[in-house]
Amino acid sequence: MNRDEQQASQRLAELRREIHFHDHRYYVLDDPVISDGEYDRLFRELQELEEQFPGLVTPDSPTQRVGGAPLSSFETVAHPYPMYSLDNVFDGDGFQGFLQKTQRFLQHEGDIRFVAEPKLDGLAVELIYEQGIFELGLTRGDGVTGENITSQLKTVQTIPLRLQAGADIKVPARLIVRGEVYLPHTGFELLNSQRLAQGEPLFANPRNAAAGSLRQLDPAVTAKRPLAFFVYGVGEPGILSVTCQWDMLQYLGKLGFRVNPHVRRCGSADEAADSFEKLLQLRHSLEYEIDGVVIKVDSFDLQNRLGATTRAPRWAVAWKFPAIQVTTRILDVEFQVGRTGAVTPVAILDPVDVDGVIVKRATLHNRDEIERKDLRIGDNVLIQRAGDVIPEVIKVLGDARSGNEVVVSFPENCPECAHSLVRPQDEAVTRCVNSHCPAQRLQALIYFAGKSGMDIEGLGKKNMEQLVKKGLVSDIPDIFRLRAQDLNTLDGWGDKSAGNAVSSINSAKKSSLSRFIRALGIRYIGEVNASLLARRFDTIQRIMSASKDELLEIEGIGEQAAASLVDYFSDPSARFMVENLLESGLEITVEDYGEKPLEGRVFLFTGSLASMSRNEAKQRIKSLGGQVVSAVSRRITDVISGEKPGSKLKKAEEMGLRVLDETRFIRLLGEEEVA
Ligand code: IVH
């Protein structure tokens, strides 16, 4: 090595160390200590220096996360130690059975200490570190051999490429860790909504999506999927100086791995059972799927005495949650027309209890999905309900067919207004393009009065349906003409609720231009685009008469938004409606827009985002005029809560700050329609 090379190699080592440190602060601890700009400078310096000295690039370099070339097939590699599976139990009795067996085996009557861990519903992987560097990553495979997916795993930001040594922390010569790679809900929904829009087959659940993403021969594809990792064990506990599962998790955390924050040490079996109940409650509020609780004997000494059967260790058990996938029958298929005319097929199901909720309907997404799954009326199907997501049909149980099932025929005409339906060439969605379609109109009315619109109290979905049915409201101006005496005699209404609704309507009559534009529910015109329009044009009349070219001149307004707006106001009845509203008392106030649509808003992030890095998110907020801070305070207008939010979320909630999840945040930025 010449002098230059020596100097470069020293600087490279420094840069990698620093960047590893900051990656860990950012991705694992959610607590960055430098600004994004400083981080970017370090990263650029590293990239440039490596370009100058390609011979000095090391496999643990932060630049190598997406470095791997596409593979033609996966190589099979034997696990150094077999990767066991777990025995399952499904209720308290099952758990008691496990407990008795354990006590009998150990000839031990008293309490045993356990660790209770969420059972993550992703894919088990093994990561092998040599001298602290991530060298080999394998799938579980059949437990004896797995597939080499090292390049794919390197793209997972929460997998450390290099382990952190510390004053009291020694990195072993070789470390084999095991854990779960998973896809957070937000990443899953985003991925599927993109696939839906492109007419590609949907992933049935986050686990399949994670598996599909990891098994991509080209790691560049994996890199685009926001996968994450939690560690839960090691291959050879004997080589470590810790003596129990709990201490081992703490140790792995110090080496730089992400340990699930909900793991709990339990002094007794009762405490373990209590952990099960707590996690069951928490299940739907987590940012990722869990399907049970793994209860492990804490002490390694006892673990060794218990040993394993050929399949699973005797010192651990998976206590599974009740299923969120159940089977039922499709009784019928209905076609629902949305605000923008999109026609969505919906399965009417034989009502069934899914994890405590009676499910009667499930979305079938679009025509392609029905064909792909070959769904027929009368079919027995597997359905799934997860979190807040609308229940879905996962697949047909084909063996159970009687032959009397009826093929679903997608209508040629709108089921509500009979107008012919259109499916644009490169879209997966079929639409009713009649802007007077009563179904679209109802959805538009609901949207106008709803939270994203004029936010009128008492005019939620149910009540709006009632008002439309009663003939009191058929278009937006009718809302502004409602009087207390129209409402107070209706079913479910009284003087008080009618009075409140009318006063809320009256306050909505004074609206800012951007809110009003947004409330119209024009496709692609959400909060940010509405602000951009209002800032540029000042009056509703000027917006109505703007040409597409004029609209495209506005930075941030894209082709789709411009075309959609022009299309909306090219319909004379839309213009007539606006005139009508102005006559019935709508007063559009002029905003002081300042420079940017998010000007004046102060954002705080907690947890990691699935769809973009925090850097990118910050950048986008700043480019729209918003500010990003890192400490909780009353100044904050929006808290963006990603996956694994930290203590900041709790603080923010206690202070009553507005919290947006990732999907809502993306909507705020991007305006796209989320399916
Ligand atoms: S321990 C020998 N801990 O469950 C112990 N497994 O059915 C084996 N899993 O393939 C695993 N979360 O993918 C363990 N906290 C956790 C886990 C966990 C999820 C999965 C893992 C394994 C499967 C076993």
pLDDT tens by residue, 291-338: 999 999 999 999 999 999 888 999 999 999 987 888 899 999 999 999
Q: How far is the CA of 86 from the centre of ligand 1 (A)?
A: 7
- Overall average pLDDT of the 451-463 stretch: 92
| Residue 593 confidence (pLDDT) | 53
Predicted confidence (pLDDT) at residue 675 exceeds the cutoff of 70: no
Which CATH number fits the domain 88-320, given the four candidates 2.40.160.40, 3.30.470.30, 3.30.70.100, 1.10.540.10?
Answer: 3.30.470.30
Predicted local confidence at residue 302, as pLDDT = 96
pLDDT for 674 equals: 35
Residue 670 has what pLDDT? 57
C-alpha 597 to ligand 1 mean position (Å): 46
Q: Name the DSSP class of 373.
A: H
pLDDT for the residue numbered 162: 93
Is any ligand 1 atom within 6 A of the Cβ of residue 669? Answer: no
Give 673's pLDDT tier (boundaries 50, 70, 90): very low
**Domain 602-669 falls under CATH 3.40.50.10190:** yes
Question: 96 in ligand 1 pocket by Cβ < 6 Å?
Answer: no
pLDDT digits (tens, 9 = 90+) for 177-187: 999 999 998 89
| pLDDT for the residue 205 | 83
Q: Is the CB of 248 under 6 A from ligand 1?
A: no
Single-letter code of the amino acid located at 123: L
pLDDT at residue number 24: 86
Mean per-residue pLDDT for 357-372?
Answer: 91
Q: Are 306 and 297 in contact (CB under 8 A)?
A: yes
Residue 672 has pLDDT above 70, yes or no: no
Q: pLDDT digits over 22-68, tens only?
A: 888 887 877 778 877 788 889 989 999 999 999 999 988 998 887 67
**208/202 Cα distance (integer angstroms):** 10
| Separation of alpha carbons 197 and 560, rounded Å | 14
Q: What is the mean pLDDT of residues 507-530?
A: 91
The average confidence (pLDDT) of the chain is 90
Per-residue DSSP letters for 244-262?
BHHHHHHHHHHHT--B-TT
Q: Which ranges in the chain are annotated with CATH 3.30.470.30?
A: 88-320
Mutate to test the pocket of ligand 1, among 117, 125, 126, 180 (most ligand atoms within 8 A of CB): 180
Residue with CA closest to ligand 1 atom 2: 84
- Ligand 1 mean position, distance from CA 83 (Å): 9
Pairing mode, strands 659-661 and 638-641? parallel
Say which residue, 517 or 399, is predicted with more confidence: 517
Q: Measured between alpha carbons, how far apart are the two ends of the chain, in Å?
A: 57
Task: Give the per-residue pLDDT at 618.
Answer: 80
Would residue 119 show up in a list of annotated catalytic residues for this protein?
A: yes
Q: What is the mean pLDDT of residues 137-146?
A: 92
pLDDT at 652 over 80: yes
Is pLDDT larger for residue 654 or for residue 75?
A: 75
Q: Which two tokens stand for residue 60?
A: 């643990």
Distance CA 162, CA 175 (A): 11
Q: Is the CB of 230 under 6 A from ligand 1?
A: no
Please answer whether residues 165 and 171 qualify as being in contact, where contact means their C-beta atoms are separated by less than 8 angstroms.
yes
Q: What is the pLDDT of residue 316?
A: 98
What's the CATH number for 3-65?
1.10.287.610
| Residue 648 DSSP class | H
Ligand 1 lined by 263 (C-beta under 6 Å) = no
Residue range 338-365: average pLDDT?
91
**Going by C-beta distance under 8 Å and a sequence separation of 6 or more, which residues neighbour residue 609?**
186, 226, 617, 640, 642, 643, 662, 665
Centroid of ligand 1 to alpha carbon of 233 (angstroms): 9
What percent of the chain has a predicted confidence (pLDDT) above 70? 97
HSE-up of residue 248 (Cα within 13 Å, Cβ side): 23
Q: Given this model, what pLDDT does residue 67 score?
A: 65
- pLDDT at residue number 25: 84
The reported pLDDT for the residue numbered 389 is 67
Task: Give the least confident one: 410-424, 453-467, 578-592.
Answer: 578-592
Instruction: Tell me what pLDDT residue 596 has.
Output: 67
Measured distance CA(460)–CA(448) in Å, rounded: 10
Secondary structure class of 410 (helix, strand, coil): coil
The Cα 177–Cα 138 span in angstroms is 11
CA dihedral 379, 427, 225, 652 (to 10 degrees): -90
List, by residue range, all CATH 1.10.150.20 domains of the chain. 438-589
Looking at the chain, the domain(s) classified CATH 2.40.50.140 span: 324-400
CA–centroid distance, residue 179 to ligand 1 (Å): 7
pLDDT at 625: 77
- Quick: pLDDT tens for 588-631: 987 665 456 787 788 999 988 887 777 778 877 877 778 888 88
Residue 142, ligand 1, Cβ within 6 A: no
Q: What is the mean pLDDT of residues 386-397?
A: 80
Residue matched to tokens 């869990």: 290
Kindly indicate whether the domain formed by 438-589 is annotated with CATH number 1.10.150.80. Answer: no
Rounded to whole angstroms, the Cα distance separating 638 from 310 reads 52
Residue 562 backbone phi and psi in degrees, to 5 = -60, -45
Task: Exactly one of 119, 154, 373, 618 is catalytic; name it.
Answer: 119
- Cα atoms found within 13 Å of the Cα of residue 70, Cβ hemisphere only: 6
Q: Atom 13, ligand 1: which residue's CA is nearest?
A: 124
Cβ 419 vs Cβ 434: under 8 Å: yes
What gap in Å lies between CA 615 and CA 597, rounded to an integer? 20
Rounded mean pLDDT, 141-159: 93
What would the DSSP string read from start to end of 520-556? TT-TT--HHHHHHHHHHH-SHHHHHH--HHHHHTSTT
CA distance 95 to 565: 60
pTM score > 0.75 for this model? Answer: no
Q: Looking at domain 324-400, which of 3.40.50.620, 2.60.40.10, 2.40.50.140, 3.20.20.140 is its CATH number?
A: 2.40.50.140
Burial class (CB in 10 A: 0-12, 13-18, 19+), 606: buried
Q: According to the model, what pLDDT value does residue 474 have?
A: 93
Q: Note the residue count of the chain.
A: 675
Which amino acid residue places its CA nearest to atom 16 of ligand 1?
119
pLDDT at 157 over 70: yes
Q: How many C-beta atoms surround the C-beta of residue 495 within 10 A?
A: 12
Q: How far apart are CA 272 and CA 263, in angstroms?
A: 11
DSSP H helices in 200-244: 206-214, 219-223
Does 116 have pLDDT greater than 70?
A: yes
